[in-house]
Amino acid sequence: MSDPIPFEDTTPRLELPLLFAAQAQKEFTVNEALLRADLAIQSVVEDELAAPPAAPAPGQAWLVGSSPGGAFAGHAAAIAGWTSAGWRFVQPASGWRVYDKSTACFRHFDGAWRLPDAPAAPTGGATIDVEARAALGNILVRLAEAGIFSAS
Protein backbone atom coordinates (compact mmCIF):
# COMPACT_ATOMS: atom_id res chain seq x y z
CA MET A 1 0.00 0.00 0.00
CA SER A 2 1.35 3.41 -0.86
CA ASP A 3 2.02 6.12 1.70
CA PRO A 4 -0.47 8.98 1.82
CA ILE A 5 0.66 12.27 0.32
CA PRO A 6 1.14 14.83 3.09
CA PHE A 7 -0.47 18.22 2.52
CA GLU A 8 0.23 21.47 4.29
CA ASP A 9 -2.51 23.21 6.31
CA THR A 10 -1.73 26.67 4.90
CA THR A 11 -0.25 28.26 1.81
CA PRO A 12 3.49 28.93 2.12
CA ARG A 13 3.53 32.72 1.53
CA LEU A 14 0.29 34.21 2.87
CA GLU A 15 -0.53 31.35 5.26
CA LEU A 16 -4.05 31.11 3.87
CA PRO A 17 -5.92 28.08 5.23
CA LEU A 18 -6.29 25.23 2.76
CA LEU A 19 -9.22 22.88 2.28
CA PHE A 20 -8.77 19.15 2.75
CA ALA A 21 -10.71 16.19 1.46
CA ALA A 22 -14.04 15.49 3.16
CA GLN A 23 -13.79 18.65 5.23
CA ALA A 24 -17.08 19.68 6.78
CA GLN A 25 -18.19 23.31 6.65
CA LYS A 26 -15.64 24.32 3.99
CA GLU A 27 -17.14 27.80 3.86
CA PHE A 28 -15.38 28.71 7.13
CA THR A 29 -11.98 27.87 5.68
CA VAL A 30 -12.69 29.60 2.39
CA ASN A 31 -14.07 32.71 4.09
CA GLU A 32 -11.05 32.90 6.42
CA ALA A 33 -8.71 32.64 3.42
CA LEU A 34 -10.60 35.40 1.61
CA LEU A 35 -10.50 37.71 4.66
CA ARG A 36 -6.74 37.23 5.04
CA ALA A 37 -6.14 37.72 1.32
CA ASP A 38 -8.21 40.91 1.49
CA LEU A 39 -5.77 42.24 4.12
CA ALA A 40 -2.58 41.17 2.36
CA ILE A 41 -3.22 42.00 -1.29
CA GLN A 42 -2.85 45.68 -2.25
CA SER A 43 -2.80 46.46 1.47
CA VAL A 44 -3.74 49.91 2.77
CA VAL A 45 -3.39 50.74 6.46
CA GLU A 46 -4.68 53.66 8.52
CA ASP A 47 -1.56 54.05 10.71
CA GLU A 48 0.74 52.11 13.05
CA LEU A 49 -0.65 51.43 16.54
CA ALA A 50 0.47 49.51 19.62
CA ALA A 51 -3.12 48.77 20.73
CA PRO A 52 -6.39 48.39 18.82
CA PRO A 53 -8.35 51.56 18.01
CA ALA A 54 -11.58 52.21 19.91
CA ALA A 55 -14.07 52.02 17.04
CA PRO A 56 -12.68 50.35 13.90
CA ALA A 57 -14.85 49.92 10.82
CA PRO A 58 -14.91 46.63 8.90
CA GLY A 59 -12.22 46.74 6.22
CA GLN A 60 -9.90 49.10 8.09
CA ALA A 61 -6.38 47.87 8.83
CA TRP A 62 -3.41 49.00 10.90
CA LEU A 63 0.23 48.05 11.29
CA VAL A 64 0.83 46.58 14.73
CA GLY A 65 3.63 48.38 16.60
CA SER A 66 6.74 46.75 18.08
CA SER A 67 5.30 46.56 21.65
CA PRO A 68 1.67 45.57 21.10
CA GLY A 69 -0.99 45.34 23.77
CA GLY A 70 -4.65 44.38 24.07
CA ALA A 71 -5.97 42.34 21.16
CA PHE A 72 -2.74 43.17 19.27
CA ALA A 73 -0.55 41.35 21.84
CA GLY A 74 1.66 38.73 20.22
CA HIS A 75 1.24 40.19 16.73
CA ALA A 76 4.13 42.71 16.49
CA ALA A 77 4.65 44.07 12.94
CA ALA A 78 1.54 42.25 11.62
CA ILE A 79 -1.15 43.84 9.50
CA ALA A 80 -4.26 43.87 11.71
CA GLY A 81 -7.61 44.14 9.96
CA TRP A 82 -11.02 44.57 11.54
CA THR A 83 -13.80 42.37 10.18
CA SER A 84 -17.38 41.83 11.26
CA ALA A 85 -16.09 38.73 13.08
CA GLY A 86 -13.23 40.53 14.87
CA TRP A 87 -9.51 41.03 14.28
CA ARG A 88 -7.57 39.16 11.61
CA PHE A 89 -3.75 39.27 11.48
CA VAL A 90 -1.38 38.72 8.58
CA GLN A 91 2.33 38.47 9.33
CA PRO A 92 4.39 40.16 6.58
CA ALA A 93 7.43 38.76 4.80
CA SER A 94 10.51 40.72 3.73
CA GLY A 95 9.79 42.82 0.67
CA TRP A 96 6.12 43.54 1.39
CA ARG A 97 4.81 47.07 0.90
CA VAL A 98 1.71 48.73 2.29
CA TYR A 99 0.26 52.16 1.71
CA ASP A 100 0.03 54.10 4.99
CA LYS A 101 -2.76 56.70 4.89
CA SER A 102 -1.36 58.60 7.90
CA THR A 103 1.89 59.40 6.06
CA ALA A 104 0.51 59.28 2.49
CA CYS A 105 3.45 57.02 1.73
CA PHE A 106 4.35 53.39 1.11
CA ARG A 107 6.06 51.49 3.91
CA HIS A 108 8.50 48.65 3.23
CA PHE A 109 8.96 45.57 5.44
CA ASP A 110 12.44 44.15 6.05
CA GLY A 111 11.97 42.78 9.56
CA ALA A 112 10.27 46.04 10.61
CA TRP A 113 8.02 48.49 8.78
CA ARG A 114 10.12 51.36 7.41
CA LEU A 115 9.30 54.73 5.91
CA PRO A 116 11.66 55.89 3.18
CA ASP A 117 13.88 58.87 3.97
CA ALA A 118 13.46 61.72 1.52
CA PRO A 119 16.69 63.46 0.55
CA ALA A 120 17.05 67.03 1.75
CA ALA A 121 16.27 69.79 -0.71
CA PRO A 122 19.42 71.49 -2.03
CA THR A 123 20.78 74.40 0.02
CA GLY A 124 24.06 76.30 0.30
CA GLY A 125 26.97 76.12 -2.09
CA ALA A 126 29.19 78.75 -3.67
CA THR A 127 27.15 78.91 -6.89
CA ILE A 128 23.38 78.80 -6.64
CA ASP A 129 21.53 77.56 -9.71
CA VAL A 130 17.91 78.57 -9.11
CA GLU A 131 16.58 76.55 -12.04
CA ALA A 132 18.37 73.35 -10.97
CA ARG A 133 17.14 73.75 -7.39
CA ALA A 134 13.59 74.32 -8.60
CA ALA A 135 13.81 71.19 -10.78
CA LEU A 136 15.17 69.07 -7.90
CA GLY A 137 12.51 70.47 -5.56
CA ASN A 138 9.83 69.56 -8.11
CA ILE A 139 11.21 66.01 -8.36
CA LEU A 140 11.05 65.63 -4.56
CA VAL A 141 7.44 66.89 -4.53
CA ARG A 142 6.44 64.43 -7.28
CA LEU A 143 8.12 61.52 -5.49
CA ALA A 144 6.18 62.40 -2.32
CA GLU A 145 2.94 62.60 -4.34
CA ALA A 146 3.68 59.12 -5.75
CA GLY A 147 4.04 57.76 -2.22
CA ILE A 148 7.76 57.12 -2.60
CA PHE A 149 8.65 59.59 0.19
CA SER A 150 6.52 60.81 3.07
CA ALA A 151 5.08 64.27 2.45
CA SER A 152 5.85 65.28 6.04
Residues in a beta bridge with 28: none
User: 75 with 90, same domain?
Assistant: yes
**Residue range(s) defining the domain that contains residue 135:** 117-152
* Same domain flag for 133 and 71: no
Residue 1 domain flag: no
Would you say 106 and 88 are in contact if contact means Cβ atoms under 8 Å apart?
Answer: no
The pLDDT assigned to 136 comes to 86
Residue 11 forms part of a structural domain: no
Mean pLDDT by 10 residues, the chain (152 residues): 67 74 80 81 94 95 96 97 91 92 91 85 79 86 78 62
Do both 125 and 102 map to the same domain?
no
What pLDDT is recorded for position 101? 94
pLDDT at 7: 65
> Count of residues for the chain?
152
**pLDDT value at residue 25:** 83
**Is the domain of 69 the same as that of 133?**
no
Residue 62 lies in a domain: yes
Domain count, the chain: 2
| Residue 13, domain member (yes or no) | no
Provide the pLDDT for residue 27: 80
- Residue 67 lies inside a defined structural domain of this protein: yes
Other beta carbons less than 10 A from residue 130's beta carbon: 7
Q: Residue 89 CA to chain centroid, in angstroms?
A: 11
pLDDT of residue 75: 97
Is the sign of the CA dihedral 8, 29, 110, 77 positive or negative? negative
Strand-pair category, 79-83 with 61-64:
antiparallel
Rounded Cα distance, 42 and 56, in Å: 19
pLDDT at residue 90, rounded to an integer: 92
pLDDT of 88: 92
- Residues 94 and 110 both lie in one domain: yes
> What's the pTM?
0.73
At residue 124, what is the residue type? G
Q: Do 101 and 135 reside in the same domain of the chain? A: no
Q: Do 122 and 92 share a structural domain? A: no
Mark whether 108 and 51 lie in a shared domain. yes
Flag whether 46 is in a domain: yes
My answer on whether 54 and 92 are in the same domain is yes
Residues 107 and 139 in one domain: no
